[in-house]
Each structure stands twice: as C-alpha cells, then as structure tokens.
Amino acid sequence: MVSTRYVKDPRHCSFQLVKLDALSVYFDTDTGSVGKGDDREGTLNALKSMLVGSPTHQYILKPVTGEARVIVNKSMTSESPKVDAQVIFDEIGVVFDRDQYRDALSMVDVFHFYRRTHQYHKFRPSEEEFAANPAKARLRFALNAISSEIHEKRRRWTWEYMAERRDTRKRYVDVYVKKLALLEGKVLDPEVSPTPDRPSDNRTAPH
C-alpha cells in the first residue's frame, strides 16, 4: 500500500511524504490455475481467497516497507537543489530459487511454442484431409510452411518491400507528429490515422 502526505509552504517550498507498506512480488511454483474460464466471478473469488489468512508465497521481491521524504524548492540555488529526496527502506531482499528458474524457462518455452504454432496455423490440413491420408497431409503442411518462410525471407530483401517499409515509416512519423500537436482531450481524425492494411512487421514505427 502507498500513502502520500502533502504539505505546501507558499513562501519557500513544499514537503511530500510517501510511505510504502509491504510491496512484494512473488512467483509461486507447482500451483494450479485460478482461471475459471468464462466464469469471471469465480476467477475474482479465487484471487480474493489468496489474500485471506497468512498465505505462504515464494517471493522474488520480499515485502518492502519504507518511506520517501521529498522537498521541492520554488527556486534552485548553489546551496539548495530544486528537489531534495531521502528514501529509507527497512530491507530489500531479492530471491530467485531453482523451482522459479525452472518454471520461468518452461513458461518461455510455452510462449515460444504457441508463437510458432500460430505462425504456421494457416497451413494446417483440415480434418477431412488428415483423415483421408495423414502422411500426405503432414507432408503438404511441412512443404507449405517451409515454402512460406523462404518466400517471406526473400521478400524482405526486395526493393518493393523496402519501399513499402519506407512509405509506412514516413506515414507513421507524419501521424505521430500530428498526434503530438493535438490539444489535450482531442483525438486524431480517422481519415488521418494509419490505414488498417499496413504491414504487420513495423518494428521501425515510432512510439
């Protein structure tokens, strides 16, 4: 929990006291899922039940309690800074055990698996094709997946693709500049916003 106390002195400066009470991060291993599918109320109740009593967690960041004292001066001189802050913590403990490391690696592998599965999902044979000839369906799936990946890698080295990326970046930079110039509470005109048929791989688009 974070609590803030603010005191203002109109002559010289303002004082602010921020208290932090038992901030923690935990990663429990070998636990079941609290998700209840479409039952939103059941999921919320399962999450609330974790706060009842004194549960035992595997902390990555142990509960941290402390306070910060901030003094904001109206003017800055060679003897007094604009902002003077003192941060005091009782203890900061970071722990990462073997089980957490194992589950973290497993989670990364699962995400990688789903990402690769999604990439080639459109090439999966239908149930009818697989039932008629499983070997032929698997071979066609492999050939289509490999061919698509080779085609995509070659396309990224074509002048057409580079020109497309250049035009997309210019369009995004223009829209981003217009967004920065908007008054607070205003939104961009839909006609000015980027078109929905832009390439999906826009790593160079500004943020």
pLDDT above 80: residue 185: no
Determine if residue 203 is left, alpha or beta; phi over 0 gives left, psi from -120 to 50 gives alpha, anything else beta: alpha
State yes or no: pLDDT of 166 exceeds 80: yes
Tell me if 105 sits within 8 A of 98, measured CB to CB.
no
Mean pLDDT of 139-158: 91
- On the CB side of 107, CA atoms within 13 Å amount to 10
**203 — pLDDT class (breaks 50, 70, 90):** very low
Listed range (152-156, 170-174, 187-191, 192-196) with the worst mean pLDDT: 192-196
- Sorted by sequence, the CB contacts under 8 Å of residue 183 that are 6+ apart come out as none
- pLDDT (average), residues 183-192: 72
Residue ranges of the alpha helices (H) in the chain? 40-49, 98-119, 127-132, 134-155, 159-180
pLDDT of 99-112, one tens digit each? 999 989 998 999 99
Task: Write the pLDDT tens digit of every residue in 1-27.
Answer: 556 655 555 567 788 888 888 888 888
Return the minimum-mean-pLDDT range out of 87-91, 121-125, 159-163.
87-91
The predicted pLDDT at position 31 comes to: 77
pLDDT, tens digit (0-9, with 9 covering 90-100), for 51-108: 776 667 888 988 888 888 888 887 777 777 888 888 888 888 888 999 999 989 998 9
191 pLDDT band, cuts 50/70/90, is low
Give the start-to-end residue ranges of the domains of the chain.
Answer: 2-96, 101-155, 167-207
Q: Are 129 and 138 in contact (CB under 8 A)?
A: no
Is the model more confident about 44 or about 38? 44
